[in-house]
């Protein structure tokens, strides 16, 4: 399966391991991702905080690029980029005036023919759990996972809508397919405050603490996510969150692609499992998964 | 065993002379609706938004209360709260609102209004971060997170706050130091230019 | 020669040989390059069927005459506008859908024969050939650009491909165009007095020949109120105000039911822009009662229903 | 009466539904509310009974303005009649303007049985408006 | 030859002071076909009317115009006058020269000029008047009540008590409806079954009531006075007259399922009575569950039935009956809260609805009146009540307020505090609506007993350990609050029956966007529908509590009774009629009729030798109320309105203009 792929700014940087593990998983599943030539930042997560025109124009530029090279879908692994692209795509398709405006600003001629999609959606729908399961060589037995979707993947429903906004399932089914055990917990889509990760660390710590506590209470021994923001937040800010909650969490935060990759038999290094703040490997070693 | 979670926002206690505010469908409502595309008058103050807001513990006013201020046309109040800056746009409120009010959209609108009116943002750091973020995009067309981080820390004068993370990130190769260079940059800058022109025309 | 014409003829031949079939209504070659309505009753006649740009009639309404007093099935050839007209007649319960055998054919616009004759001389044959028309006139063949010689009503045809047919031939053509309301808008932009003057200039020419009504698929009443002396809807004597009442009434009677076939305007001997009245009403209906497409016959006409939350201007 | 003549007063033909607007006009009477003697009421069971052709007929016969009055939406004695009227006249008002009749010659108003004041006010306002417009010659028999 | 007489009333000085009546008389005399003009001080007075009678006789008048007050005032008076002079009462026309002229104008000249126009109009219209005759419809004095809840029972009893036959049709095996499921009723807290069951028994034993349970209405034809109704009586598989209701059968029956009456909290068998006080107290066999019907084996119940009442071979019967009036009392359904992800999609066993709680509290309920957590059977220490679940929620639920929830939640809180010492209860509400006699006091009492009212709509309910975490905002504090609860009770919206719309179509009545049946007039005709002879009672018309429901049941019965007070119905003759020669049968008139009075019929007409048959519209004069909406929908004018015909209105317009 071929897709035009929008990497976004993080997957080269803070989410490096997400980028490489995604590549690994795609290879394993025979997904062909061709990077959108000449892509630019979609504006997340600040453009829409400062200027509506900007929030509109930046994503449309990329949508227009994709359309120009004949793509009907634009896949991204970053939940944040996905949401911005999806919101704007929906906006211009429902309000012709918005489309005109966007085209004026970008100098492009976007017709509205591109549907942004998230990697998770592609794995869940296009590839399908069965084909994922078929590829598993090292089932992640004993791993108790809290699937954390974050707020960006499933909201707003009218723009995203590939899964339920309160109790989504796509990631759960994939993780189960990888042989791990998923815990039922209430904060799957509770926000962790990523947009303040630098500006208001105190707030972030508070929000992250809430999420992590619920995961722990539900008996998870790690979280899995499909969003660089969530990841860097829960991973990098976990110690701080623990201080706020006056407890220790020690919950490794994995990317969905890392867990899948692991179950497909990749080596930890090939999946960037070595570059986490909260050590990612000890748990896996304990469970004899690496 | 009712436990109150988080601290109450310590909003300044004010007496508002309602008759001094605009009556009926206020101008503020109009502006907000124009941008947020939602009818704030529909809000009946049930509080479902705030009850589910993950950031509300840090807010001076509950999101619901901000809706109220907009309904009353209490411009000063609405733009003074840090609430509008501490909204993480997670849309839990919008998704759950029984009156289909796009609360997060309203917050977004208020932030932008506060900018237009060149007000001192009620949470300088958040605002500052967004400015630097957007400026970074303007400069390069793509975001260089390391550059963003460093510039933000310089500007917010807390260079040493989680510098540790910064360095360990670098060690983990997580902060790409090489700035992107590519054609898209020019086009993105063109977008910024057109927007500026539009703004100039408007004012 | 159109590729699918033979297939069409074969189909009609078969149809006519079926039991209980009364007639098939199509086109046959007429004199001077014309293609005129044909009423086939025997299979062998099928070979005489033609369909080209010169088939400028409107077959739908013939169905009424053919259906009256008979019970057999009726076949009819239908281009986009004719198919809509048939739907109109069916919805107005003037003929049962089961009795009809609608044979859909594509349409790339009908030739304005008068205009062709004026510029090329006496016509002998008009054929479509790919995107172009081959016109034999005054002894020589011309390759003409349809857009130059297309009937006005076809220029902004929104439904060239017939819907709800029993069978159809040829390639489905999607419409690039949508009804052009610019003239309506232009008129609306005029000051009231000028607009009034404009319409009076039109109405005073009216001969009350009723051609617009006769051809209209939405005007199929067994008795037309405009013919009645009692009640005297139009008044006894023919005056300009009475003419205005006539056109006002006709337009309102087809409001929400007009299929925009444009025949009314086409057949008007004195060139009154009748369709401009229909279009105005259609556009307002679309806007006021958010009707998707005011020209497609629906279950209940827009004026035969309401929504409590309809626009309120009369408080 | 001819144009320009000082004493010219417009003529308004009003179609009032029996249950609300006609009763409203009655109430205006019993409460002795004064309004110009310009209006002449034709009683119909329901605003849904008013055929748009009646409007043009009135203009033909010399009316300077026409008023169609019915119960407020939701209050129709026959529950739905005025909803149909509303659709018909949303369309007819626009269509008459399209034919060149000045806006303001045809008024449609919802007047309930308890709104005697509203009836009087509507007639006052409408008369004033028509006086500004002057006599109607459009579509009028004999005027052309 | 039309001979019109015009009678001008002075009304003392009411008219004469402003209108120059003598001048008006001179003018009237010159109008076409006017053969007689007369002025009276008071035309409505006995001498005034006598004058009219005399004139009709002496001058052979066949049309009469009275220029006086509003027809809404005296039209009936003068119609009687004409009748008494053996002239058809509909050959009268009034000119309203008082309310519409003399009382609202001062300038004598202007007023008189206007009066001329008004008289001109009347004379012009009356020329075209035709004699009209009231049609009369015989009334079949037998009522059908659909729905055996408290509304239907009340209506049936009231109709039956006034001596009319009633058939009470109920879909379930027993009557009683929702009220039978309740434990106590607010605001008096008397026990629901104590006040309901006697009524159920009365209904069953009343000589004028036939009780048809396990039955459904399938088809309704006809119109007011004589509806033809097809009713399916489903096979109960029990010979009711033989059955003693001993219960041996259901004790032995091996097939079990969740008991609908207890909302699945308890069990029932395949052969069952829904609850002990059921009426009739005879079991039915649920054929989808019964082992015999599935496998052809078992028959245990039959073996243990000493009365030999079990009849497996019973078949459904469809009976056709005639009724003069119908009362719809089909009640409501509960909103399904499974749409709320934030409340756990209805997955948590300890998140229940108010009706569940009723069954848990009820002494005759599955837990014998002990309130326990469905998950682990423990007695809850902390209970949260969530108001407006589905109600007042345009996004996921319904826009309206369900009206009864505030009060029954207060009731629940009170009862929990009475049953469980030391329980703590929290009621999350948006607004407390206690508008009813004794309601506010009742709400206050709940707070007295310790119910903690928190103003705010609950945002989340989720499981943590064996507790339920309820999150919301206390909007009065402006603070986010959370409760760790053992039991969460949702006050789910009252919604229309899922199949209400199909019943509405069967009955030919209208329903609103929420599926509730619509009354003929929201204020003035609350229990009537737009279809003459069909009435509404209870929650099928909109959410209601018991007092309102009972009141409506009685009101509907009163309407039926006054319909049945007459032998024949007289219908106003000013109705729509079809000119069949003109009618094209397009039936565009049909959808505009609010009374479903228009239908199509086949006529045959001779045309060039042969007979042609075609469809034309036809009007049922019994149903038509004469609004005339159809006449405008008719392009030809084949559809016309007697008394307000196209001809007449055109003539009026012509006459009234200068």
Residues from chain D that touch C307, judged by Cβ atoms under 8 A, are: 83
Compute, in degrees rounded to 10, the torsion defined by CA atoms A179, A180, A186, A190: -100
> Would you call E59 exposed, middle or buried from its count of C-beta atoms within 10 A (0-12, 13-18, 19+)?
middle
* Interchain contact A37–B (C-beta under 8 A): no
For E257, list phi and psi in degrees, rounded to 5: -160, 170
pLDDT surpassing 50 at residue B5: no
Average pLDDT over residues E124-129: 96
Tokens linked to B151: 């510039």
* Cα separation values, A53 from A57, B39, B192, B193, E204, Å: 6, 21, 9, 12, 72
Test mutation, B137, B155, B163, chain A, max A CBs within 10 A: B137
Name residues 519-578 of chain E within 8 A of D (Cβ): 520-522, 530, 574
Percentage, residues of chain D above pLDDT 70: 95
Q: What's the DSSP call for residue D103? A: T
Q: How confident is the model at residue C10 (pLDDT cuts 50, 70, 90)?
A: very high
Of the listed ranges A4-13, A80-89, D102-111, D122-131, the least confidently predicted one is A4-13
* CB-based contact C146:C53 (threshold 8 Å): yes
d(CA B93, CA B22): 27
Average pLDDT over residues E42-50: 95
Q: How confident is the model at residue E561 (pLDDT cuts 50, 70, 90)?
A: very high
Closest CA to E544 of E44, E150, E190: E150
CA of B191 vs chain E CAs: smallest distance (Å):
37
Q: How confident is the model at residue D1 (pLDDT cuts 50, 70, 90)?
A: very low
Average pLDDT over residues E96-117: 96
Do at least 3 CB pairs under 8 Å connect E with B? yes
Closest CA to E642 of E622, E627, E656, E623: E627
- HSE-CB for E413 with a 13 A CA cutoff: 30
* pLDDT given at position B23: 66
Q: Among all chains, which residue has been given the structure tokens 């809430």?
A: A210
Q: Burial code of E611-649, b = ≥16 C-beta within 10 A, e = fewer?
A: eeebbbbbbbbbbbbbbbbbbbbbbbbbbbbbbbbbebb
Name the average pLDDT for chain E: 94
| Reported ipTM | 0.66
Name the average pLDDT for chain B: 81
> Would you call E502 exposed, middle or buried from its count of C-beta atoms within 10 A (0-12, 13-18, 19+)?
exposed
* Interchain contact B180–E (C-beta under 8 A): no
pLDDT surpassing 80 at residue E21: yes
* pLDDT given at position B178: 47
Contact D144 C255 (CB under 8 A): no
CA of D82 vs chain C CAs: smallest distance (Å):
10
Residue of E nearest to B51 (CA): E472
Helix (H, G, I), strand (E, B) or coil at E458: coil
- C-alpha of A267 from chain center: 22
Q: How confident is the model at residue B4 (pLDDT cuts 50, 70, 90)?
A: very low
* pLDDT given at position B168: 66
* pLDDT given at position B11: 45
Give the count of beta carbons closer than 10 Å to the beta carbon of residue E601: 11
* pLDDT given at position E364: 87
Segment E586-609, tens digit of pLDDT: 999 999 998 889 999 999 887 777
Of C192, C235, C302, the CB nearest to D100: C192
Average pLDDT over residues D104-119: 94
Complete DSSP assignment for E186-236: TTTTEEHHHHHHHHHHHHHH-TTEEEE-SEEEEEEEEETTEEEEEEEE---
Which residues, other chains included, contact B146 with Cβ-Cβ below 8 Å and sequence gap of 6+?
Answer: A13, B166, B170, B175, B176, B177
Average pLDDT over residues A125-148: 95
* pLDDT given at position D62: 94
Tokens linked to E387: 């108001």
Tokens linked to A148: 């954390």
* pLDDT given at position B7: 41
d(CA A209, CA A172): 22
Which residues, other chains included, contact C303 with Cβ-Cβ below 8 Å and sequence gap of 6+?
Answer: C255, C256, C285, D84, D87, D88, D91, E633
Give the count of beta carbons closer than 10 Å to the beta carbon of residue C10: 12
Tokens linked to E654: 């012509």
For A73, list phi and psi in degrees, rounded to 5: -130, 150
Q: Burial code of B132-156, b = ≥16 C-beta within 10 A, e = fewer?
A: bbbebbbbbbbbbbbbbbbbbbeeb
Of the listed ranges A25-34, B183-192, C196-205, E235-244, the least confidently predicted one is B183-192
Sign for the CA dihedral angle at B69, B74, B77, B83 comes to positive
Helix ranges restricted to H, chain A? 16-29, 47-50, 52-68, 79-94, 96-106, 119-121, 129-135, 170-177, 201-217, 228-236, 238-244, 256-264, 281-286
Closest CA to B153 of B144, B165, B141, B162: B162
* pLDDT given at position D3: 46
Segment E619-633, tens digit of pLDDT: 998 889 899 999 999
* pLDDT given at position C259: 95
* CB-based contact C302:C256 (threshold 8 Å): yes
Q: Give yes or no for a cis peptide into A141 (omega within 30° of 0).
A: no
Residue of D nearest to C279 (CA): D95
* Cα separation values, A14 from A18, B154, B184, Å: 9, 20, 22
* CB-based contact E485:E382 (threshold 8 Å): yes
Q: Beta-strand (E) ranges in E465-523?
A: 467-474, 479-485, 487-492, 494-496
Average pLDDT over residues E108-121: 96
Segment E312-324, tens digit of pLDDT: 999 999 999 999 9
Q: Which of the pair, A197 or A85, is modelled with greater confidence?
A: A85
* pLDDT given at position B181: 58
* CB-based contact E136:E570 (threshold 8 Å): yes
Segment D30-82, tens digit of pLDDT: 999 999 999 999 999 999 999 999 999 999 999 999 999 999 998 888 888 99
Closest CA to D43 of E63, E72, C232: E72
3-state helix, strand, coil in chain B (%, to 5): 60, 0, 40
Segment A92-112, tens digit of pLDDT: 988 888 888 999 999 899 988
* pLDDT given at position C77: 96
Complete DSSP assignment for E73-139: HHHHHHHHHHHHTTS-GGGEEEEE-IIIIITT---HHHHHHHHHHHHHHHHHHHHT------EEEE-
N- to C-terminal Cα separation, chain B: 55
CA of B88 vs chain A CAs: smallest distance (Å):
6
Tokens linked to E592: 């505009």
d(CA E540, CA E531): 16
* pLDDT given at position E135: 83
pLDDT surpassing 50 at residue B3: no
d(CA A29, CA A6): 19
pTM of structure: 0.72
* CB-based contact D71:D17 (threshold 8 Å): yes
Q: Which of the pair, B181 or E42, is modelled with greater confidence?
A: E42
pLDDT surpassing 50 at residue B121: yes
Closest CA to D120 of E612, E103, E197: E103
Compute, in degrees rounded to 10, the torsion defined by CA atoms C76, C82, C83, C85: -110
pLDDT surpassing 80 at residue E48: yes
* CB-based contact E122:E144 (threshold 8 Å): no
Average pLDDT over residues E433-438: 94
Give the count of beta carbons closer than 10 Å to the beta carbon of residue E75: 16
Q: What's the DSSP call for residue A250? A: -
d(CA C306, CA E11): 44
Name the average pLDDT for chain D: 92
**Which chains are adjacent to chain A, needing at least 3 Cβ pairs under 8 Å?**
B, E
Test mutation, A166, A185, A215, chain E, max E CBs within 10 A: A166
> Using only C-alpha atoms, what is the Rg of chain B?
20
Average pLDDT over residues C202-227: 93
* CB-based contact C175:C161 (threshold 8 Å): yes
Q: What's the DSSP call for residue D88? A: H
> Using only C-alpha atoms, what is the Rg of chain D?
15
Contact D53 C252 (CB under 8 A): yes
* pLDDT given at position B164: 62
Which residues, other chains included, contact E211 with Cβ-Cβ below 8 Å and sequence gap of 6+?
Answer: E148, E168, E170, E175, E203, E204, E279, E280
d(CA E209, CA E162): 12
Of B1, B5, B47, the CB nearest to E456: B47
């Amino acid at each position: 399966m071929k897709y035009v792929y929008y990497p976004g700014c993080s997957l080269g940087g803070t989410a490096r391991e997400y980028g490489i593990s995604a590549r690994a998983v795609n290879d394993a599943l025979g997904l062909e991702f061709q990077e959108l030539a000449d892509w630019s930042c979609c504006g997340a997560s600040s453009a829409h905080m400062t200027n509506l025109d900007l929030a509109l124009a930046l994503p449309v530029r990329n949508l227009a690029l994709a359309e120009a090279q004949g793509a009907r879908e634009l896949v991204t692994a970053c939940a944040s980029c996905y949401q911005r692209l999806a919101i704007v795509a929906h906006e211009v398709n429902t309000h012709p005036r918005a489309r005109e405006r966007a085209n004026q600003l970008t100098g492009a001629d976007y017709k509205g023919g591109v549907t942004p999609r998230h990697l998770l959606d592609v794995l869940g729908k296009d590839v399908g759990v069965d084909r994922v399961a078929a590829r598993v060589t090292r089932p992640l037995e004993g791993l108790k996972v809290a699937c954390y979707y974050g707020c960006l993947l499933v909201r707003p429903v009218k723009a995203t809508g590939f899964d339920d906004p309160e109790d989504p399932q796509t990631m759960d089914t994939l993780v189960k397919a990888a042989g791990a055990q998923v815990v039922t917990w209430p904060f799957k889509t509770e926000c962790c405050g990523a947009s303040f990760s630098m500006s208001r660390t105190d707030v972030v710590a508070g929000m992250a603490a809430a999420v992590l506590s619920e995961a722990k209470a539900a008996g998870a021994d790690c979280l899995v996510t499909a969003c660089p923001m969530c990841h860097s937040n829960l991973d990098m800010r976990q110690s701080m969150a623990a201080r706020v909650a006056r407890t220790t969490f020690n919950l490794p935060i994995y990317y969905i692609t890392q867990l899948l990759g692991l179950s497909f038999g990749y080596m930890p290094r090939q999946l960037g499992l070595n570059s986490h703040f909260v050590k990612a490997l000890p748990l896996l070693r304990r469970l004899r998964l690496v | 065993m009712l436990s109150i979670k988080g601290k109450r926002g310590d909003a300044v206690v004010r007496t508002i002379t309602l008759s001094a505010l605009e009556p009926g469908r206020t101008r503020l409502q109009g502006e907000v609706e124009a941008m947020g595309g939602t009818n704030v008058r529909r809000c009946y103050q049930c509080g479902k938004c705030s009850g589910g807001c993950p950031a509300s513990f840090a807010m001076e006013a509950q999101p619901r209360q901000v809706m109220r201020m907009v309904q009353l046309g209490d411009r000063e109040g609405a733009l003074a709260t840090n609430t509008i800056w501490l909204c993480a746009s997670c849309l839990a409120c919008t998704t759950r609102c029984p009156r289909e009010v796009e609360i997060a959209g309203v917050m977004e609108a208020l932030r932008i209004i506060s900018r237009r009116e060149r007000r001192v943002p009620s949470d300088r750091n958040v605002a500052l971060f967004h400015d630097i973020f957007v400026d970074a995009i303007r400069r390069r067309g793509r975001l260089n997170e390391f550059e963003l981080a460093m510039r933000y820390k310089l500007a917010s004068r807390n260079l040493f706050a989680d510098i540790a993370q910064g360095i360990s990130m670098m060690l983990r190769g997580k902060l790409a130091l090489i700035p992107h260079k590519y054609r898209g940059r020019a086009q993105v800058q063109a977008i910024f230019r057109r927007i500026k022109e539009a703004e100039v025309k408007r004012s | 020669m159109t590729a699918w014409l033979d297939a069409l003829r074969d189909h009609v031949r078969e149809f006519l040989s079926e039991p209980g079939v009364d007639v098939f209504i199509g086109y046959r070659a007429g004199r001077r390059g014309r293609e005129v309505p044909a009423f086939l009753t025997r299979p062998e006649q099928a070979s005489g069927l033609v369909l080209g740009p010169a088939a400028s009639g409107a077959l739908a309404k013939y169905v009424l005459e053919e259906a009256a007093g008979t019970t057999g099935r009726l076949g009819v050839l239908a281009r986009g506008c004719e198919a809509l007209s048939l739907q109109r007649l069916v919805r107005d319960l003037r003929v049962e859908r089961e009795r009809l055998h609608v044979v859909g054919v594509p349409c790339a616009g009908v030739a304005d024969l008068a205009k062709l004759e004026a510029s090329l001389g006496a016509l002998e044959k008009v054929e479509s050939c790919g995107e172009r028309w081959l016109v034999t006139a005054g002894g020589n063949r011309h390759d003409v650009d349809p857009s130059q010689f297309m009937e006005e009503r076809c220029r902004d045809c929104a439904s060239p491909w017939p819907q709800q047919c029993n069978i159809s031939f040829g390639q489905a053509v999607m419409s690039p165009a949508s009804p052009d309301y610019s003239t309506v808008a232009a008129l609306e932009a005029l000051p009231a007095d000028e607009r009034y003057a404009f319409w009076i200039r039109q109405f005073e020419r009216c001969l009350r020949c009723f051609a617009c009504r006769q051809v209209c698929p939405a005007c199929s009443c067994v008795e037309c109120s405009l013919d009645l002396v009692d009640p005297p809807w139009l008044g006894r004597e023919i005056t300009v105000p009475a003419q205005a009442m006539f056109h006002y009434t006709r337009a309102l009677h087809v409001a929400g039911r007009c299929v925009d076939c444009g025949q009314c305007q086409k057949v008007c001997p004195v060139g009154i822009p009748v369709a401009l009245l229909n279009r105005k009403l259609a556009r307002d209906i679309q806007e006021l009662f958010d009707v998707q497409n005011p020209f497609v016959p629906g279950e209940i006409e827009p004026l035969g229903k309401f929504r409590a939350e309809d626009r309120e201007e009369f408080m | 009466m001819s144009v320009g003549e000082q004493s010219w007063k417009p003529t308004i033909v009003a179609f009032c539904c029996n249950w609300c607007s006609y009763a409203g006009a009655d109430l205006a009477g019993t409460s002795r509310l004064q309004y110009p003697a310009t209006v002449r009421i034709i009683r119909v069971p329901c605003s849904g009974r008013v055929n748009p052709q009646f409007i043009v007929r009135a203009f033909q016969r010399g009316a300077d303005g026409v008023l169609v009055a019915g119960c407020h939406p939701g209050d129709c004695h026959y529950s739905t009649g005025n909803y149909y009227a509303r659709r018909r006249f949303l369309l007819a008002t626009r269509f008459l303007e399209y034919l060149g009749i000045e806006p303001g010659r045809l008024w449609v108003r919802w007047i309930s049985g308890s709104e005697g004041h509203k009836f009087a006010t509507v007639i006052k306002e409408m008369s004033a408006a028509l006086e500004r417009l002057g006599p109607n010659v459009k579509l009028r028999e004999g005027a052309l | 030859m039309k001979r019109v007489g015009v009678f001008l009333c002075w009304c003392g000085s009411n008219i004469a002071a402003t209108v120059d009546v003598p001048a008006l008389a001179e003018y009237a005399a010159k109008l076409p076909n006017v053969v007689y003009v007369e002025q009276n001080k008071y035309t409505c007075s006995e001498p005034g009317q006598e004058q009219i009678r005399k004139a009709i006789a002496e001058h052979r008048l066949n049309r009469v115009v009275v220029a006086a007050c509003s027809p809404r005032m005296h039209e009936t008076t003068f119609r009687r006058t004409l009748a008494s002079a053996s002239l058809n009462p509909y050959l009268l026309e009034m000119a309203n020269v008082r309310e519409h002229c003399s009382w609202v104008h001062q300038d004598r000249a202007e007023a008189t000029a206007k009066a001329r126009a008004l008289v001109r109009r009347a004379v012009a219209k009356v020329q075209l008047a035709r004699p009209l005759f009231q049609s009369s419809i015989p009334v079949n004095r037998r009522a059908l009540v659909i729905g055996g809840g408290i509304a239907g029972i009340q209506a049936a009893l009231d109709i039956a008590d006034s001596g009319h036959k009633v058939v009470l049709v109920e879909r379930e095996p027993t009557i009683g409806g929702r009220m039978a499921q309740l434990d106590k009723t607010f605001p008096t807290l008397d026990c629901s079954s104590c006040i309901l069951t006697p009524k159920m028994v009365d209904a069953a034993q009343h000589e004028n009531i036939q009780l048809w349970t396990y039955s459904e209405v399938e088809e309704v034809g006809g119109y007011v006075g004589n509806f033809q109704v097809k009713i399916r009586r489903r096979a109960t598989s029990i010979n009711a007259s033989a059955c003693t209701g001993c219960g041996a059968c259901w004790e032995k029956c091996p097939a079990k399922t969740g008991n609908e009456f207890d909302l699945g909290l308890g069990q029932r068998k395949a052969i069952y009575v829904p609850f002990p006080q059921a009426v009739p107290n005879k079991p039915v066999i649920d054929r989808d569950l019964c082992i015999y019907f599935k496998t052809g084996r078992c028959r245990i119940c039959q073996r243990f039935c000493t009365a030999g009442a079990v009849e497996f071979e019973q078949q459904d019967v469809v009976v056709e009956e005639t009724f003069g009036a119908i009362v719809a009392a089909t009640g409501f359904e509960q909103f399904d809260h499974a749409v709320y992800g934030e409340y756990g999609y209805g997955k948590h066993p300890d998140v229940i609805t108010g009706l569940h709680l009723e069954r848990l509290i009820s002494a005759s309920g599955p837990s014998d009146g002990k309130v326990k957590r469905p998950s682990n059977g423990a007695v809850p220490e902390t209970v949260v009540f969530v108001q407006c679940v589905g109600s007042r929620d345009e996004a996921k639920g319904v826009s309206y307020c369900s009206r009864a929830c505030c009060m029954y939640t207060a009731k629940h809180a009170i009862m929990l505090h009475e049953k469980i010492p030391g329980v703590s209860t929290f009621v999350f509400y948006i607004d407390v609506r206690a508008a009813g006699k004794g309601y506010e006091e009742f709400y206050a009492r709940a707070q007295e007993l310790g119910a903690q009212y928190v103003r705010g709509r609950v945002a989340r309910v989720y499981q943590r350990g064996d507790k339920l975490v309820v999150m919301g905002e206390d909007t009065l504090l402006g603070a986010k609050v959370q409760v760790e609860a053992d039991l969460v009770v949702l006050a789910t919206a009252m919604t229309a029956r899922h199949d209400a719309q199909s019943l509405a179509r069967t009955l030919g009545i209208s329903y609103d966007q929420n599926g509730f049946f619509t009354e003929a007039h929201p204020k003035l005709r609350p229990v009537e529908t737009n279809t003459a002879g069909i009435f509404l009672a209870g929650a099928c018309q909109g959410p209601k509590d018991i007092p309102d429901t009972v009141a409506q049941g009685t009101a509907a019965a009163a309407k039926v009774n006054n319909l049945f007070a007459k032998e024949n119905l007289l219908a106003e003759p000013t109705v729509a009629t079809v000119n069949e020669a003109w009618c094209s049968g397009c039936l565009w008139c049909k959808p505009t009729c609010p009374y479903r009075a228009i239908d199509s019929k086949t006529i045959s007409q001779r045309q060039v030798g042969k007979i042609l048959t075609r469809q034309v519209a036809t009007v049922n004069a019994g149903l038509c109320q004469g609004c005339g909406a159809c006449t405008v929908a008719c392009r030809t004018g084949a559809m016309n309105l007697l008394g307000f015909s196209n001809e007449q209105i055109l003539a009026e317009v012509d006459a009234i203009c200068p």
